[in-house]
C-alpha cells in the first residue's frame, strides 16, 4: 500500500506526542519488562498510526507501546524467525499471507482469536489456525507516471505482457522478492499469470533492462519518476492505493478540498492487470512475556478506531466490513482488474524455489 509516510515520520510524531517510542531491533528479549507495563511491537517500515489513536491504547490500558522498526516486511519476518521462541518483541505486525507458511514452520506465533474477529470481511480468511489476525489488505500493482507517458506520446502499459515489450525498455523498477513484500507479491503475480513460463517472462524483463531495488522505499522514492519519486523510471511496483496517497500528501490538497478544485485524476496511475492481493496480519509472538498486553494490542489493531485510521496513514484497506473508506480513497484508488492470486498451499510449496530461480535469472 503506498506508504508515503513511513517509520521516520512515525518516530517523530511519537516523540512529539509522547505516546510511545521507536527503536531498532536488539538482542534483548521481551523479558526485560517482567511486570508487563510495556508491549513491544515489531513492525515493517510502513507502519503508521496517528499519534492520538496510538495514545488512546496507552490511556485505556496503562500499557506503554514500544515500536521496533524491522525494515521491509520480508526482512522483518526473516529476522523474527531467527529469534523464534525468544523474541525481541511481544507482537509482530505486517506479515502477509505469502510468508505465513515460513512463520508457521518456525513456530513464530502463539494462537489468539481477536475479540472483534467477527467484524472482518467475509472474503478475508483467518489462516493458520488463528495464529494471526488479519488487519489490512491491498493490491500490489505496477504504477505509472502519467506525465512521463503523456509528454512522450506513449500509452502506458496495459498489463504484465506489455512490460516486456521493447517500447517499455529501461522503464520498470521492481523490488527483490527475497527482501521485499511487494517484490514477492509481484513475483507471485507473474507465476500466477505465466505458470512455469514465469522464468522466460523474467528473462524478457531482464533483456528489457528491468531495475531492482531491495525495498519499496528505494524503488518508489529513489527510482520512480512519478509523484513523490525522484528517479527516472516511469514504472514501479507499488500499490493500487499509491495514487490517492500522492493526492492526499500534495502541498495543495487542503486548499483544493476547501475550494472544491481537487484534480480529476492522481499524478500516478495503476496498470490494472498487474495486481496481486496481499493481506497483512498481526500476531502474538511465541515466547512473549507480556501475552496479555500483546493480545490487547491485537484487539486494538482490529478496533474501529484503528481500522478507520489505517487508510489515511498506511494507505491500505481496512479488513473490518463496517468501516467506510475516505473520499480520497474512493476517488483516486487504482482499480485492479482480474487480481492475480495463487492457492496458499501452492505458495507454501513453491515460494522458496521461485525466489531462488528469480535470483538466478535476475541477479545472476
- The residues spanned by each domain of the chain are 7-137+279-318, 139-277+330-363
Per-residue confidence (pLDDT) for residue 85, from 0 to 100: 93
Do domains 7-137+279-318 and 139-277+330-363 share one topology? The answer is yes
Count of all residues that appear for the chain in the document: 364
- Nine-digit cell at 363? 541477479
Dist CA 288 CA 93 (whole Å): 14
pLDDT tens digits for 201-211? Answer: 999 999 999 99
Percent of the chain, pLDDT > 70? Answer: 88
pLDDT tens digits for 124-149? Answer: 876 656 899 999 999 999 999 999 99
B/e letters for 1-22, b = 16+ CB within 10 Å, e = fewer, are bbbbbbbeebbebbeeeebbeb
Architecture per CATH, domain 7-137+279-318, reads as 3-Layer(aba) Sandwich (3.40)
pLDDT tens digits for 29-85? Answer: 444 544 468 999 999 888 999 999 999 999 999 999 999 998 888 889 999 999 999
Is the confidence at residue 353, as pLDDT, over 80? yes
Mean pLDDT (the chain, rounded)? 88
Phi and psi dihedrals of 322, rounded to 5?
-100, 15
Is the confidence at residue 318, as pLDDT, over 70? yes
The distance from CA 296 to its chain's CA centroid, rounded to whole angstroms, is 23
pLDDT tens digits for 100-119? Answer: 888 988 999 999 999 999 99
- Written out in words, the top-level CATH class of the domain with range 139-277+330-363 is alpha beta
Amino acid at each position: 500500500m503506498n506508504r508515503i509516510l513511513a517509520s521516520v515520520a512515525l518516530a517523530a510524531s511519537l516523540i512529539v506526542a509522547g505516546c510511545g517510542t521507536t527503536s531498532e531491533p536488539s538482542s534483548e528479549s521481551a523479558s526485560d519488562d517482567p511486570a508487563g507495563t510495556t508491549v513491544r511491537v515489531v513492525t515493517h517500515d510502513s507502519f503508521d498510526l496517528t499519534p492520538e489513536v496510538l495514545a488512546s491504547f496507552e490511556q485505556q490500558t496503562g500499557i506503554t507501546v514500544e515500536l521496533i522498526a524491522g525494515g521491509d516486511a520480508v526482512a522483518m519476518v526473516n529476522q523474527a524467525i531467527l529469534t523464534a521462541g525468544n523474541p525481541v518483541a511481544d507482537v509482530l505486525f505486517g506479515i502477509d499471507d505469502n510468508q505465513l507458511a515460513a512463520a508457521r514452520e518456525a513456530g513464530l506465533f502463539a494462537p489468539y482469536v481477536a475479540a472483534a474477529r467477527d467484524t472482518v470481511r467475509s472474503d478475508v480468511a483467518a489462516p493458520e489456525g488463528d495464529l494471526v489476525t488479519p488487519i489490512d489488505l491491498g493490491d500490489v500493482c505496477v504504477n505509472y507516471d502519467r506525465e512521463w507517458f503523456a509528454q512522450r506520446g506513449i500509452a502506458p502499459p496495459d498489463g504484465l505482457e506489455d512490460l516486456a515489450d521493447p517500447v517499455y525498455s529501461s522503464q520498470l523498477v521492481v523490488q527483490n522478492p527475497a527482501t521485499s513484500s511487494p517484490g514477492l507479491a509481484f513475483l507471485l503475480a507473474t507465476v500466477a499469470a505465466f505458470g512455469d513460463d514465469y522464468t522466460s517472462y523474467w528473462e524478457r524483463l531482464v533483456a528489457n533492462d528491468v531495475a531492482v531495488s531491495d525495498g519499496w522505499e528505494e524503488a518508489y522514492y529513489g527510482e520512480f519518476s512519478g509523484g513523490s519519486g525522484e528517479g527516472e523510471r516511469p514504472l514501479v511496483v507499488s500499490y493500487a492505493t499509491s495514487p490517492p496517497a500522492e493526492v492526499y500528501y500534495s502541498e495543495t490538497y487542503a486548499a483544493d478540498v476547501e475550494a472544491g478544485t481537487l484534480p480529476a485524476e492522481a499524478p500516478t496511475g495503476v496498470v490494472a492487470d498487474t495486481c496481486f492481493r496481499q493481506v497483512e496480519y498481526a500476531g502474538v509472538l511465541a515466547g512473549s512475556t507480556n501475552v496479555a498486553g500483546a493480545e490487547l494490542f491485537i484487539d486494538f489493531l482490529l478496533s474501529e478506531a484503528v481500522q478507520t485510521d489505517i487508510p489515511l496513514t498506511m494507505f491500505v484497506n481496512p479488513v473490518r466490513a463496517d468501516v467506510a473508506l475516505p473520499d480520497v480513497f474512493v476517488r483516486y484508488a487504482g482499480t485492479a482488474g482480474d487480481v492475480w492470486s495463487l492457492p496458499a498451499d501452492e505458495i507454501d510449496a513453491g515460494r522458496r524455489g521461485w525466489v531462488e530461480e528469480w535470483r538466478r535469472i535476475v541477479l545472476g
